Structure 1
Amino acid sequence: MPREFLRFQRVSRQLQRELAEIIQRDLRDPDVGFVTVSDVEVTKDLAVAKVFVSVLTTQEAEDKQSSVAALNRASNYIHGIVSKRMRMRMVPELRFFLDESIEQGIKMDALLKATNPDNEK
């Protein structure tokens, strides 16, 4: 019977859940701001995890980049908490990146509405 999901995919999903909870509850850095974990990509050898985060702010892009930089500074602390929660021999190295797909989607939606204002549905 074949497995439905590969191991690195299961680790990716579980890591996303754990990181979202850790950032929300355990991380006390005011530089981070309001961050949501949108996706986690784990390499097949489980060595590195690319964590894509969305930063919800009304400020400029510098604030978003500073939030991502604060997360990268705290990655060792976050890695320690994750390693205690997940039962793995080796937890992947965490690297945080800004995910701008939500903003891009909003811009695309606005452009589509501007080109066809009659079709509001």
Structure 2
Amino acid sequence: MSSRRIERVNSLLKEVISDVIRTEVKNVNVAPLLTITKVDVSSDIHFAKVYFTITNGTKEQIEKTKEALNYASGFIGVKCSKEVRLRFFPELRFVYDSEYDEMFRLEQVFHKIQQLRKDSPSNEPAE
């Protein structure tokens, strides 16, 4: 399948899966501030990795959410397949997207550097 088509399927699945999780999944272990960050469908569209992140999530919340989503992946797939017409609907596997944690950590480091520069005396030459 062409890479352009795969990109469109990835984008469409990201939106539909987000919708289904928000409106249909009623598992208490799924964190309320969950965001689907991206979907990677295999070239034969039989498998899809669904990346998610949780705002202010603890490691325990992340793990419980991942387990709950993977447990509900069949249900989520059935609901999504009614919205997305594909010859084969991919098997969904949910994976925590740690890229956002790293970006948040780097943002904190940059903020600290900015604060240190603001708080330190000026490095202007004396006259």
TM-score range, shorter chain: 0.7 to 0.9
User: In 2, distance between residues paired with 1:97 and 1:116?
Assistant: 33
Q: Name 1:68's counterpart in structure 2.
A: 66
- Which residues of 2 match residues 86-101 of structure 1 at below 5 A? 86-101=84-99
Deviation above 6 Å: which 4+ runs of structure 1? none
What is the number of equivalent residue pairs in this alignment?
Answer: 115
State whether structure 2 residue 76 is matched by structure 1 residue 78: yes
% identical equivalent positions? 26
Q: Name 2:38's counterpart in structure 1.
A: 39
Deviation of residue 116 (structure 1)? Answer: 4.2
Which blocks of at least 5 consecutive residues in structure 1 are unaligned? none
Preserved contact between residue 57 and residue 64 of structure 1 (Cα < 8 Å): no
User: In 2, distance between residues paired with 1:88 and 1:80?
Assistant: 12
Q: How much is the aligned-residue C-alpha RMSD, in angstroms?
A: 1.7
User: In 2, distance between residues paired with 1:8 and 1:106?
Assistant: 29
User: In 1, distance between residues paired with 2:100 and 2:44?
Assistant: 29
User: In 2, distance between residues paired with 1:66 and 1:30?
Assistant: 10
Give deviations 1:66-108, integer Å, cap 9, x for gaps. Answer: 1011000000100111111111111111000001222211111
The counterpart of 1:26, out of the listed 24, 27, 31, is 24
User: In 2, distance between residues paired with 1:93 and 1:72?
Assistant: 10
Amino acid in structure 2 at the alignment position of 1:71: L
| Structure with max Cα Rg | 2
TM-score (norm 1): 0.86
Q: Name 1:54's counterpart in structure 2.
A: 53
